[in-house]
Structure 1
């Protein structure tokens, strides 16, 4: 059943790109810097309602496919945060606990699937108790996540089951009940979780038996109903002390007056009604998650093929580079030999030039000497002619 408050609920439209303009709050959460995250949530409340989206690389068609889209509270719940972080996020954006991400999951799903502390689960349930009965696309309730992966403490199981008593019939799309998932679990608290589920199954069966013994009265004027938080605290305290449905416990469970009996029946009816309403809203998330997983797996295969192709190309380029380097080495050796020969030839040429210059100087000296001798002879001839 959708409440009046939920019918008017509209998720925030604020959004930033993880790779371009990530908020300081989300950056602090992803790095588990919890003190900074609390300060950011208190000082920048708008960042608590800002969706952070990441896209796949542009494949050329202009449209970028969304890889994921979270609010800060979704990401925080998946990282086992301190209770102060959730308190700050809920205070700055109370509707965040009612929002589903692109996978169709609530913050409570992430908290239950990642062994969040009892105080964190308690704050989420206080802020939005209906989330305990919300299903993801695979039909899994938060209790399915708890029993599949294990809780941080057994009291968390009792706390979540206060708002969802029909654990025996709460099946996901694969037909698995929380008990089925708990029996397949491989975490240390598995036996304690199974025992807790058995207590709730037994109590549910015995409660139905008590109702069948008495004609159901009409709830015309019920007394003030206990809050969900009050019922959770009473149930958790009862189970933590290990109380079972013994004779004494059964006597205490039977209302002492008709008015108390009416209140108990109305409460049971409301719990059943809420359980039926909430299980219909969460079946799609896990299916989308499975599709996303298949899509990511396919992309991983394609990426692996591309990496293989790049590796082969790189190997070919390395072989070509080695060939070029070997050729350059050979040419370098040849150039070194040729350069040495050229230097020898240059030396020979220089020696030849020096010889040519020496011979030229000798010829020039001889010519000058001959010229002087010819001048002397000419003078003698001239003198002889003059004496005749």
Structure 2
């Protein structure tokens, strides 16, 4: 087989060369050119070599994803997050991206707006393209996650599912440290502002609070659930203000910051009247006023370790390690907690 002179002048210099240009220059069908790049074993070796030479001379670049799809080796991973605008995910994404890049993979991030339905649709679109998936605080049911994990290697963040690798922070220890800190400050009635009902971490924190309250002989009261946002925290503030609690642990830092704003709006001072503790130690937790006391999660490490676990499972011929990887949490004490006032200032008095 002979190719006509495949010079760039045979192709309009103002457009990108296509597979059809290569086929025309070589006198073969476009499908032959496609096979030469995606399945070279199905094309005569001499023909494939000439096609690649022509493609290089005219500047044609095969779509690497199209070439990879038949083999499943796309070098793409998916990270699904429930709300990309939540600073909680900033460092998780950064850590995951660094780990993926180090292994010559590209990370696709899908934002699913705190919706299990949106999450399912996003995964339906992503699964044909990616080699593996990291689910960050998934809102899907356990059964839905298991069905998805049968299609692609999967690692779950901040959730434990039997048979699926997961990476979590030590919610129980972090919650216990927050409770011990508040009890040390003489608080005896402590509230918890709950997050989404579909959140596994929310259930773990509330159980840990009740266990700690029993061990420390203090009372706990649950508020919510609320959206895991500033607005969610602000909205629950009047209810907290009307209660007898003198300290509150919030589902996350955004809820805690929103709660502090809402309490200030109804005349309740933080921490003089009510102490507030958040979760996650997001960017901005130390910049609000007062600076937020929070249970710090190793966010970048969560993302990095999740991707490393996923890649290790993909490379192994043996079943993945399914015991949850437990990363430490620590209490960061700032300005939003203080010793309980002898008399709490009431909303009515303000």
**TM-score of Structure 1 vs Structure 2, range by shorter chain:** under 0.3
Write 1 or 2 for the structure with the bigger share of strand.
2
Larger helix fraction of residues: 1
More relative contact order, 1 or 2 (CA 8 Å, 6+ apart): 2
